Structure 1
Amino acid sequence: MGESLKHTAVKGVSWSFADNIANSGITFLVGLVLARLLTPEEYGIMAMIAIFIAISNSIIDSGFSNALIRKTNVKRIDYNTVFYFNLVVGTAIYILLYLVAPLISDFFKEPLLVPVTRVIGLTLIINALAIIQRTIMVKEIDFKTQMKVSLIASLTSGGIGIGMAFYGCGVWSLVGQQVSRQLVNTFFLWFYSCWRPALEFSIDSFKKLFGFGSKLLLSGLIDTVYKNIYYIVIGRFYSSVQLGQYTRAEQFNTIFSSNLTSVVQRVSYPVLSSIQNEDERLREAYRKIIKVTMLVTFACMLGLAAVAKPLIIILIGIKWIPAVYFLQIICFAGMLYPLHAINLNILQVKGRSDLFLKLELIKKIIAIAPIVIGIFYGINYMLWGSVCISFISYFLNSHYSAVLIKYPTKNQLKDIFPTFLISLFVAAFMWSISLMDISVYLILPIQIIAGTLLAFCIYQKVKLPEYLEIRELVSSALKKKINY
């Protein structure tokens, strides 16, 4: 990886990580407080409409963001065309969601879903207003500004959510938190961005961008439905309480898996897109990204599974204990998410959104099996099925990246296996500590300290290149801070 490209990537990762910490990290901490004040049932009600909001946001974007990021010579009219399309579609979908709210309520047998859906649906229009500003910042790898916006939005919305929960607003505390976060986020994206819409629209620009983006839209819709289908299955065939327990497990998983995936995806896509026509350089950059990313991911996800029980009991209380086993299973599926994202980024970088769509169709057809099993045999079987699907999906994803940049799956596995083995050994050691008959308030710090020291000693001994790369980056960053 060239020095300038490496510098851009490192800077992008640093600020993107800070952005995610500001956004998801603060939201997670706020969630800990809310989990103490609210019940699993109230979280379950919010989860019931998650799939409808997620699908709507995918349709509004329609793959245009990725199409704009990939395009090397974007004109003003391209941005304006996408902006007005997003706004019109966002408004239309909100009206539709407003009208079908009673049907959603009847499906889940939850009357409160009617007003909740109609209010939370406003975030669709609010979000559509800021998609272009966010896209421009991603394209320019300006995650510093996004971090500022996320910090302000997360703190403001968190304060509103906690305040409402404290005064007994129940599920409306979660609604208030989400709506206020989107409002503040959109306001400050406009405030910090120089771009403003002009009254122009190009059919030709729309067709070219949609030609690439439409396949990503379909792929995104399929993936969104799959990621949220468990909410529908659990909410419809079980109970809002069990759904609430599952969502809390998902939120603990998100703080590592989804955030790592988001950081890697957001930064690697524009960086790799900038060298899309230099195959050898692209392959080497891609290989380094995979090795460094998976060292961090395996350590975080397997470590999280090891400390799940004392962590949940300490942070949100004994009433959430059923979420422990859910979280441990989810961690094994989630540890491969960043790897999926990087492999799929190669398809987009190479302009093969057709293969992207084909892969999503194949993977989701296979994924139907554990969902059906979950309906008839229970949530745990469904989640273990998702772990199997995650591994199968990796082999499917990596097949095409192997062809496009000549980096075979076996070479990828060879590159990441040492870090997986080390992380698995460290996690097993950490988990064994949880078997000790002492207070969870002692077990958790012992697990974390012992696991960290053991991992550090092993990596210092074996000196893997990816570990040395991370150590160098951390050391450089600390020196700059000290000198500053």
Structure 2
Amino acid sequence: MEPQSSMKKKTIGGLLWSFGDLVGNQGIQFLIQIILARMLLPEHFGLIGMILVFIALSNSLVDSGFTQALIRERNASQTDYSTVFYFNFLIAVLIYWVLYAAAPSIGRFFDEPQLVQLVRVLSIGIMINSFAVIPKAMFAKEVNFKVQAKINLSSSILSGLIAVGLAMAGYGVWSLVLRQLSMNTIQSLLFTLSKKWMPSFVFSVTSFKRLFGFGWKLLVSGLIDTFYTNVYFLIIGKQYSTAQLGYYTNASRFSEIVSQNLAATILRVTYPVLSRIQDDNERLKQSYKNITKLAAFLIFPIMVGMAAVGEPLVLLVFGEKWLPMITYFQLLSIAGMLYPILALDLSIFQVKGRSDLYLLLEIINKTSLTVLLAVAIVLDLGVIGLIVAAILNTYLEFFVNCHFSKKEVAYPAKEKVRDLLPTYLLSLGMGGVVWTLGEMLEMPVFFQLTIQVTAGIVVYVTACWIANVGELKTVYKLIMSIPSLKNR
């Protein structure tokens, strides 16, 4: 087993590079999104939103759960990697032709003829992405996120410049399509060149059966989760106007910049690290507990704060034509509070090899969401009602996950609530202060936003210091471990 000091060093290094990737890559993508939102119409983003569920489901099918299986595999061989590569590429090609043939039906479903060509072009990225699956898995297995951060940043900048140039030239929605395709191409090319890996001319049925035996349940779970993550685009695109879907699409992406991307950052570092100590139950529980508390300490105040400053933030970033997205953005920010915690809960089942429980939980949690969505649709509660259904379901999901995870890591709901409640309450209190301050201020939105954000940071850090929240010290030590700061 790897020494604890070495594993800790890799974890910290991975977190720092992953956080750098989050700030740099997502910051660039966010900046490009702002520029494009000011140049294009809500309807353009709505058209892309209608296609997202099909593209997202296709990418999940291509992965087939093999990435997590390879990362968890302690001694993955060249044969294993080659087998997965050929299978992924074959599935990607098949899916592309299915979507190509289904494009007219998708256009008729949404009553948008433009979707036919948009689907056929955008889905090319599915095949392109399949080339990067193995290099990404290798880097993740090595806890090497430095290279990934550089590649993601480079692809975001280059594809963003392409999209802005096309938008300026009047290409409208096609600037969004070609932005995604160029990003897929640049990422796949750079990952392949950086890893210098090529598949061997071998396909092992034995390797396939072993890896798929673990991965198929994750595949089904991933498909269910991906469908429900994107089902809002499907419902809103069918039931409401393209413009409303455009408002929701940007509100969703805006709120997810923090919640889902921070969750992904934490998971892609902690999963390979926790997989190495999967058989040491006491050590696994303590590490899992510490990561959960740290994730909550970071994500709770950010999401609450984003909701509190939603109005000046949207006005400053997107402009007045995007005013209808403010309420969507605020509610989606609240809905995203628990997302990293829920993702961590599910990842522990992967670490313990319980992909059966992972699948069972997806079925249970998505069944409850289906019921809540059905109620919102029948009562005609609109887009806001659909989002409120998602908020309620996150809390139900939290307690369901806790019930099952306590058997694997002995971390029951009562203990987890006790660990997270102080941060949760302090975050809500801080949000209340920030929102009230915004209601009192009458000044240009930039200055209002600056004052609110500064006040929020001061209030939260001070409250955590007074309450003696341990994660405050952890974050301070993590920051001071950065070499450039350490040597000062």
TM surpasses 0.5: yes
TM-score range, shorter chain: over 0.9
Following the alignment from structure 2 to structure 1, what is the Cα–Cα distance between the partners of residues 320 and 62? 40
Q: Which residue of 2 aligns with 1:407?
A: 411
Q: Which residue of the other structure, out of 467, 471, 478, is the alignment partner of 1:473?
A: 478
Q: Any conservation in 1 of the 2:303–2:336 contact (CA below 8 Å)?
A: yes
Q: Does 1:84 align with 2:86?
A: yes
Following the alignment from structure 1 to structure 2, what is the Cα–Cα distance between the partners of residues 246 and 386? 14
Point out where structure 2 has 5 or more consecutive residues left out of the alignment: none
Following the alignment from structure 1 to structure 2, what is the Cα–Cα distance between the partners of residues 172 and 300? 33
Q: Which residue of 2 aligns with 1:216?
A: 218
Aligned-partner residue type, residue 417 of structure 2: L
Q: Which residue of 2 aligns with 1:203?
A: 205
Once the two structures are superposed, residues 169-192 of structure 1 have per-residue CA deviations (whole angstroms, 9 ceiling, x without a partner) of: 100010010000000000100110
Q: Any conservation in 2 of the 1:370–1:383 contact (CA below 8 Å)?
A: no
Number of positions where the alignment pairs a residue of Structure 1 with one of Structure 2: 483
Q: Any conservation in 2 of the 1:370–1:381 contact (CA below 8 Å)?
A: no
Q: Any conservation in 2 of the 1:374–1:382 contact (CA below 8 Å)?
A: yes
1:401 shift after superposition: 1.5
Following the alignment from structure 2 to structure 1, what is the Cα–Cα distance between the partners of residues 402 and 333? 21
Following the alignment from structure 2 to structure 1, what is the Cα–Cα distance between the partners of residues 99 and 208? 25
Following the alignment from structure 2 to structure 1, what is the Cα–Cα distance between the partners of residues 9 and 415? 26
Following the alignment from structure 1 to structure 2, what is the Cα–Cα distance between the partners of residues 385 and 373? 9
1:224 shift after superposition: 0.6
Q: Which residue of 2 aligns with 1:444?
A: 449
Q: Any conservation in 1 of the 2:45–2:246 contact (CA below 8 Å)?
A: yes
Q: Which residue of 1 aligns with 2:383?
A: 379
1:474 shift after superposition: 1.2
Following the alignment from structure 2 to structure 1, what is the Cα–Cα distance between the partners of residues 439 and 4? 48
1:453 shift after superposition: 1.2
Q: Does 1:434 align with 2:438?
A: yes
Q: Which residue of 2 aligns with 1:268?
A: 270
Q: Give me the TM-score of the superposition, normalised by structure 2.
A: 0.97
Q: Any conservation in 2 of the 1:60–1:128 contact (CA below 8 Å)?
A: yes
Following the alignment from structure 1 to structure 2, what is the Cα–Cα distance between the partners of residues 148 and 201? 32
Q: Which residue of the other structure, out of 126, 137, 140, is the alignment partner of 1:138?
A: 140
1:140 shift after superposition: 0.6
Q: Which residue of 2 aligns with 1:453?
A: 458
Aligned-partner residue type, residue 359 of structure 1: L
Aligned-partner residue type, residue 410 of structure 2: K
Following the alignment from structure 1 to structure 2, what is the Cα–Cα distance between the partners of residues 199 and 53? 29
Following the alignment from structure 2 to structure 1, what is the Cα–Cα distance between the partners of residues 448 and 323? 16
Following the alignment from structure 2 to structure 1, what is the Cα–Cα distance between the partners of residues 248 and 48? 12
Q: Any conservation in 2 of the 1:22–1:154 contact (CA below 8 Å)?
A: no
Moved over 4 A (4+): none
1:370 shift after superposition: 2.9
Q: Any conservation in 2 of the 1:164–1:173 contact (CA below 8 Å)?
A: yes
Following the alignment from structure 1 to structure 2, what is the Cα–Cα distance between the partners of residues 261 and 416? 16
Aligned-partner residue type, residue 26 of structure 1: I
Q: Give me the TM-score of the superposition, normalised by structure 1.
A: 0.98
SS in 1 for 2:83: helix
Following the alignment from structure 2 to structure 1, what is the Cα–Cα distance between the partners of residues 157 and 119? 24
Give aligned-pair identity as a percent: 42
Aligned-partner residue type, residue 369 of structure 2: A
Once the two structures are superposed, residues 334-374 of structure 1 have per-residue CA deviations (whole angstroms, 9 ceiling, x without a partner) of: 01010011111110000000000011111111111232234
Following the alignment from structure 1 to structure 2, what is the Cα–Cα distance between the partners of residues 377 and 453? 38
Q: Any conservation in 1 of the 2:480–2:486 contact (CA below 8 Å)?
A: no
Cα root mean square deviation, aligned? 1.3
Point out where structure 1 has 5 or more consecutive residues left out of the alignment: none
1:268 shift after superposition: 1.2
Q: Which residue of 2 aligns with 1:416?
A: 420
Q: Which residue of 2 aligns with 1:171?
A: 173
1:482 shift after superposition: 6.0
Q: Which residue of the other structure, out of 150, 162, 165, is the alignment partner of 2:164?
A: 162
Once the two structures are superposed, residues 56-86 of structure 1 have per-residue CA deviations (whole angstroms, 9 ceiling, x without a partner) of: 0011110000000011111110000000000
Q: Does 1:27 align with 2:21?
A: no
Q: Any conservation in 2 of the 1:374–1:380 contact (CA below 8 Å)?
A: no
Q: Any conservation in 1 of the 2:277–2:283 contact (CA below 8 Å)?
A: yes
Aligned-partner residue type, residue 189 of structure 2: F
Following the alignment from structure 1 to structure 2, what is the Cα–Cα distance between the partners of residues 2 and 190? 31
Q: 366-375 or 190-199: which moved more?
A: 366-375
Q: Any conservation in 2 of the 1:268–1:342 contact (CA below 8 Å)?
A: no
1:194 shift after superposition: 2.6
SS in 1 for 2:481: helix
Once the two structures are superposed, residues 237-269 of structure 1 have per-residue CA deviations (whole angstroms, 9 ceiling, x without a partner) of: 101100000011111111110111101111111
Q: Which residue of 2 aligns with 1:338?
A: 340
Aligned-partner residue type, residue 416 of structure 1: L
Q: Does 1:292 align with 2:294?
A: yes
Paired residues for 1:218-257 under 5 Å: 218-257=220-259
